[in-house]
Structure 1
Amino acid sequence: MSARGRRANVRACFQQPEHGGNIHPAILKQARKSGQLNLSGRGLTEVPETVWKINIDVPEESRNVSLENQDDRWWEQTDLTKLILASNAITDLTDSIQMLPALTVLDLHDNQLHSLPEALGKLVNLQKLNASHNGLKRLPESLGQLKSLRSLLLHHNQIMELTEGVGQLHDLEDLAVLSLVQRDNRNLIGQWWWKYSSLHMHRFFSFESRTMASAPKRKMTDYGFKSKPFAALRTLDATHNDIHSLPDDLGDLTHLEQLYLRHNRLSQLPLLTHCTNIKELHLGNNSLHCLTIEQLECIQQVSVLDLRDNKISKLPEQIALLQQLERLDVSNNDISQLPFVLGTMNKLKCIVLDGNPMKSIRRDIVMRGTNELKKYLKSRLAETPNDVTEKAQGLRKSKGMSGIIAGPQEGVDAFSVHSTKALDYSGKKAGFVPADLWPVAEQAHVNAVNLNKNLLPEIPKELSLLRSSLTELHLGFNRLTSLDPLIGELTKLLMLDIRNNQISNLPDSLVNLQDLRELVISFNRFQELPKVVYNMSSLEILLASDNQIQDVDPDGVRGLSRLSSLNLQNNEIMHVPPELGLCTQLRALQLEGNPFRQPRPAILSKGTDSLLEYLRDRIVT
């Protein structure tokens, strides 16, 4: 081949092929090598014919073969096994899809499809089909020919009924049929439920049957769970239904690990008698009034218990039966006091109490975080009122303490500082902390300092006097624009709260806080998560909501192996990196209130595990 011919061939690889749409030849070339093609979010209204013929047509760059160029050996290409067409505007798929028989993954979610072609049944190797968030009204009968199919996601469509072919998918493990339309006041879920006794779903079943206003109240007891499809079920999602009661045999799902029953009409906790593997129970937005001993005895293995937005007025002492519990969310209930036994639950890392009329516990104690709240509850459990009185009298005599320090208006009692090992100088609207407080705090070896709701322009340098004892520091609601590097001297800190200030960065000296477990930087001016945060190996809770954060470093988050709760709500994140789904250590990831388009609110509302799985599915390999 001449030099001129070779130069022409090089230029050809940058030219758009005929009928190729906006797909660059280099993308198709890479797909032939990897067997994977990601065309998501490209504004496609139809699938270019070059995609269907990717393994048939001779590519342009390989039409002139020479012994000098062995890189483009198109005859050794890999068959396409993964095709992602998500988040486009595709309205129709042609029968040409059968030209990709090696496909194992086909992702069509978030398009404008109204039907799927019968030729879909030719994809006999297909294992995962995601056609959610479309306008599908029916399914092809050939669906039953996909004998290898394990995951079928059809939620958020307009499907009137499922075809008989679904019952022939013997290897199906995951099935989501959210928003299955109800017709003529008949519950379509109940109609097809019993038909498919040959199904054997191992992992996930999800449904939502939206009822009309005139439809009769639905009871989940009409469904039943004794049939074979649900014997090995691990995840059941019945969120956003009108369920008033649950069937008794729900408790027979011995393999069930996750149960989502949010946004229903349940008035009592389900009795999960034989669900010995249950790990997560989500019952938010129902009408629960109380928890009974019988109910708690059945869920002793649960690690996440979501009871938010109910009508619970009291948590029983028997909550201590849940010794594996790591997260308890009882926000927006009617709870005025907590059982002291919560302080003895060693694995409990997060208690969410927002929106409750707490009367027996001071607000500043609740604001200190879960660890300090547990310490307080445990101390109240260990001491009777008489014990406290005797201890107070003895300490006053031995220390000779009486009266108020820092002036009568401030009202800081020296005895209180010694007895509680806490210096509370919050809500004073002061521009500085009186100097005579610090010797008392140093002598008392205080482990908690609360300076919230003042007018402090900088952190007091006297804090360094407490470097050997201080474990908790609250500096929220002040006028801080930065943190003095001396903060790095407080190496014993377990909790640092600097919310509601004007801080835009953190000093590198924070890397010395290797024991820090909880960091609150919400309501500040951060445009990114400070890089020093990614070096805090013990961090478990990071609250960074209501800032101006634009990007998230998934590798940095993944490196925080102990991080269980990350709150990035109400920031300016335009893109959520799919690699964030690899951060499987997260038990709570909150992203609401950001301007990104994907994931959609429907995905966010399903909880952290579903969100992480969604993100992992979008990773381009």
Structure 2
Amino acid sequence: MFEELDGLFDGYALPLVELRFIQELRQLIQSDNPVGVPIVILSLDEIAGCVDVIGCALEHDTIVGLSIRYCGLRALPESLCKLSHLRQLHVTGNSLTAFPTSLGSLRHLEAIYADHNHLAALPAGIGDLRRLEALHLDGNWLTALPESIGQLTQLTTLQLYDNQMTLLPESIAHLRQLRDISVGHNQLHVLPEGLWQLHNLNVLNIAENQLSNLPEGIGQLTQLKMLDLAHNQLDTLPESLGKLRQLEFLYMSNNRLTDLPATLANLSQLIYLNCTDNCLTTLFPAIGKLQGLRELRLYNNQLESLPAELGTLTWLRELHLSNNRFVALPEVLGKLTGLTYLDLRNNRLLRLSMVIGQLSNLTYLDLRANRLVVLPDLSGDLLRLKKVDLRWNKIASFPQWLQRLEENGCIVYH
């Protein structure tokens, strides 16, 4: 009866219902893909990397892991429910429009990876998967989640990036074990109050939505290490952001911010801060308290100066200031001696002061599209430069020291 399986499972006492499922699955794939796909037996750790194969992980003569990634599959057989010991299901990169209604009967399921399909809804029975820890649904067509999602009390990872959701259910508040949630690139206008009850969250991605307000409740997520607010419609930020003292990465580019709350100075663990593409005219002076900051991105704003307190950021390695309104180099730059990357392109710089010569660790310097006429001799100071870009300025003749930089291996664009 199972000649088509080529004796692959010889030596295993696989239940008859599981063999039937594998045969039905193979026939389904062959109906859309005449070439078919091979069946391979792998460990549970290996099946996540399978492509164009039916990957099976076996333990104690039963299927515990199933991978059908990028196989052109349009539907899963209802007989999937016969894999009663299944712990991992990988169906990323197919054309699935729905899960079998019996999905909820797979009571041992711990992880579902179904990114990049055509799923428009989840079955209500998904709430019966009480052991589920990871649910990956990026790149689908979901418009909503069932309220039963709140029954997945063991869930630690919920990935919903790039769907079409306009609301999240209040039942999300019951997912108290959640560590990582991504609902970026959806159509959310508001966030449920229950979201702020997920006190174990380490990662929150709400970027690329239509949020115009961020509630003070976000300050309750005190375990956050990464927060992505980019590409929304925020014009202010709540003071309570300053309570996120474990935060290491903060993204808030492409909003409508005119200033930042001074309470951000409390984020002593912050490593990366991205405020690009906003309407900032000043920085709060207390930014100097962010002693661990390594990278600061401020391009595409309306800055004309920097606070003197910025000079205390001795760990800062990258500073991005392009597309602002600087007419002179801020003196404070000279104190940032750890800088290796400085981008000042598309400003209004008229001259280059010797301040820049104090940045002896600089390897990349971008001064494109300013109004520079002459350059001071910096060849003896910036010995580590690997690339300097001076194009689109008003420099009549380029000094000899630029040639010396090139002879030392530096790429010079002029």
- When residues 84 and 361 of structure 1 are mapped into structure 2, their CA distance, relative to the original with a 3 A threshold, is closer
- Residue aligning to 1:46: 36
Equivalent position SS for 2:97: coil
Quick check: 2:201–2:221 contact (8 Å CA) kept in 1?
Answer: yes
Quick check: 2:278–2:301 contact (8 Å CA) kept in 1?
Answer: yes
1:374-385 matched pairs, under 5 angstroms: 376=332
Larger radius of gyration: 1
TM-superposed CA distance for 1:379, in Å, is 6.8
Correspondence for 1:301 among 218, 229, 246 = 246
| Cα distance between partner residues in 2 of 1:300 and 1:320 | 10
Amino acid at match of 1:204: T
Amino acid at match of 1:351: L
Matched, 1:202 2:192: no
Amino acid at match of 1:280: M
Matched, 1:105 2:105: no
Quick check: 1:340–1:377 contact (8 Å CA) kept in 2?
Answer: no
- Residue aligning to 2:166: 218
Map Cα deviations across residues 11-33 of structure 1 (whole Å, 9 max, x no partner). Answer: xxxxxxx9899xxx9xx9xxxxx
TM-superposed CA distance for 1:248, in Å, is 2.1
Amino acid at match of 2:93: H
- When residues 82 and 147 of structure 1 are mapped into structure 2, their CA distance, relative to the original with a 3 A threshold, is farther
In structure 2, runs of 5+ residues without a counterpart are: 10-32, 320-329, 337-349, 391-397
- Residue aligning to 2:93: 133
- When residues 197 and 323 of structure 1 are mapped into structure 2, their CA distance, relative to the original with a 3 A threshold, is closer
- Residue aligning to 2:263: 318
- Structure number with the higher helix fraction is 1
1:474-493 matched pairs, under 5 angstroms: 480=406, 483=409
| Cα distance between partner residues in 1 of 2:269 and 2:58 | 50
Correspondence for 2:211 among 266, 289, 292 = 266
Matched, 1:285 2:231: yes
Matched, 1:241 2:186: yes
Equivalent position SS for 2:296: strand
Matched, 1:162 2:122: yes
Quick check: 2:115–2:137 contact (8 Å CA) kept in 1?
Answer: yes
Map Cα deviations across residues 106-126 of structure 1 (whole Å, 9 max, x no partner). Answer: 332333111112343343443
Amino acid at match of 2:302: P
TM-superposed CA distance for 1:146, in Å, is 2.8
- Residue aligning to 2:112: 152
Amino acid at match of 1:159: L
- When residues 500 and 333 of structure 1 are mapped into structure 2, their CA distance, relative to the original with a 3 A threshold, is farther
Equivalent position SS for 2:158: strand
- When residues 412 and 449 of structure 1 are mapped into structure 2, their CA distance, relative to the original with a 3 A threshold, is farther
| Cα distance between partner residues in 1 of 2:315 and 2:411 | 13
Equivalent position SS for 1:296: helix
- In the alignment of these two chains, the number of paired residues is 344
Quick check: 1:87–1:111 contact (8 Å CA) kept in 2?
Answer: yes
Map Cα deviations across residues 463-502 of structure 1 (whole Å, 9 max, x no partner). Answer: xxxxxxxxxxxx6xxxx3762xxxxxxxxxxxxxx56559
- Residue aligning to 1:355: 300
1:188-587 matched pairs, under 5 angstroms: 188-189=144-145, 192=146, 194-207=147-160, 210-211=163-164, 218-220=166-168, 223-225=169-171, 227-228=173-174, 230-271=175-216, 272-293=218-239, 295-361=240-306, 370-371=316-317, 376=332, 421=358, 433=377, 452=388, 453=390, 454=398, 460=404, 480=406, 483=409
| Cα distance between partner residues in 2 of 1:319 and 1:137 | 43
TM-superposed CA distance for 1:420, in Å, is 8.4
Map Cα deviations across residues 209-236 of structure 1 (whole Å, 9 max, x no partner). Answer: 855xxxxx9344xx214653x1211111
Equivalent position SS for 1:175: strand
Map Cα deviations across residues 316-347 of structure 1 (whole Å, 9 max, x no partner). Answer: 33220111111101111112322232233111
- Residue aligning to 1:171: 131
Q: TM-score if structure 2 supplies the norm length?
A: 0.66
| Cα distance between partner residues in 2 of 1:219 and 1:119 | 32
| Cα distance between partner residues in 1 of 2:358 and 2:277 | 31
| Cα distance between partner residues in 2 of 1:208 and 1:81 | 24
| Cα distance between partner residues in 1 of 2:318 and 2:58 | 61
| Cα distance between partner residues in 2 of 1:97 and 1:449 | 52
- When residues 328 and 162 of structure 1 are mapped into structure 2, their CA distance, relative to the original with a 3 A threshold, is same
TM-superposed CA distance for 1:447, in Å, is 10
Map Cα deviations across residues 589-617 of structure 1 (whole Å, 9 max, x no partner). Answer: xxxxxxxxxxxxxxxxxxxxxxxxxxxxx
Equivalent position SS for 1:144: helix
| Cα distance between partner residues in 1 of 2:283 and 2:120 | 47
| Cα distance between partner residues in 2 of 1:270 and 1:300 | 17
Q: Please, which moves more after superposition, 150-159 or 346-355?
A: 150-159
Quick check: 1:128–1:150 contact (8 Å CA) kept in 2?
Answer: yes
Quick check: 2:386–2:411 contact (8 Å CA) kept in 1?
Answer: no
TM-superposed CA distance for 1:99, in Å, is 12
